[in-house]
Amino acid sequence: MQLKMYLELKPAEFPKPFGSVTYRTYDGTRKDRLDWLEICKDGLVGDKDGEEKFNSSFYGKPDFIDSDLYFIFDGGEPVATICGIYEKDSGHGYVHMVSVRKSARGKGLGDYINKIIIAHLSLYPCKIVYLKTDEWRVPAIRSYLKSGFLPVDCDDDMEGRWVKWLTEQGYKNIPLLDEQGGVKKLLCTKD
């Protein structure tokens, strides 16, 4: 089971482009689908995956609309992607399929794309945004924590996994949330 994180959503503004970095939503073209596959080959999809992977990743989600998917460009080249889906049944926002090309990592794009998707989801009437990720995605989790996402205790071994990860990364006093979004306890409180 993947790690789960929640963010209590507040109104947010879309970030301004910086340097040669810009963004836009998915335009429905084959070129965008192929660009998405290339961006995601650095950890989310396999080298042989094709457009059917794109279709199942997005059109397999009942509440997905094309404007939920963002592309980030650096100097006109597609370098990152993030999606935020408002789930009507639960009333939650869901951060889905986040990827930054290896060549673009370490440039602050993680924080930037989090701001984009938080602003996008704040357009909807949701109070909680959630995501799921893996322990090995250390830079991503660091950027999620920086953006206000907090660990969720959603499985028997989840608290232990979070304590291990947070300890290894040097974090202290991080709230662990329950499935309803309430603070269950503080993790890593010892010096």
Burial grade of 158 (CB within 10 A; 0-12, 13-18, 19 or more): middle
Pair of tokens at residue 182: 């309430």
| Contact indicator for 51, 57 with CB cutoff of 8 Å | no
Instruction: Taking each helix axis as running N to C, give the angle between helix 138-146 and helix 109-121, from 0 to 180 degrees, rounded to the nearest 10.
Output: 50
pLDDT > 90? residue 43: no
pLDDT > 70? residue 32: yes
Q: Where residue 46 falls among pLDDT bands split at 50, 70, 90? A: very high
| Model confidence pLDDT, tens digit, residues 91-105 | 999 999 999 999 999
pLDDT at site 191: 61
Is this prediction's pTM over 0.75? yes
- The mean of the pLDDT values for the chain is 95
The domains found in the chain, sorted by start residue, are 3-151 (3.40.630.30)
Residues with Cβ < 8 Å from 72, sequence gap 6 or more?
Answer: 21, 22, 23, 78, 79, 80, 81, 82, 100, 109, 112, 113, 116
Distance (Å, whole) CA 85 – CA 78: 21
| Model confidence pLDDT, tens digit, residues 113-145 | 999 999 999 999 999 999 999 999 999 999 999
Pair of tokens at residue 99: 């990827």
pLDDT at site 15: 97
| Contact indicator for 87, 63 with CB cutoff of 8 Å | yes
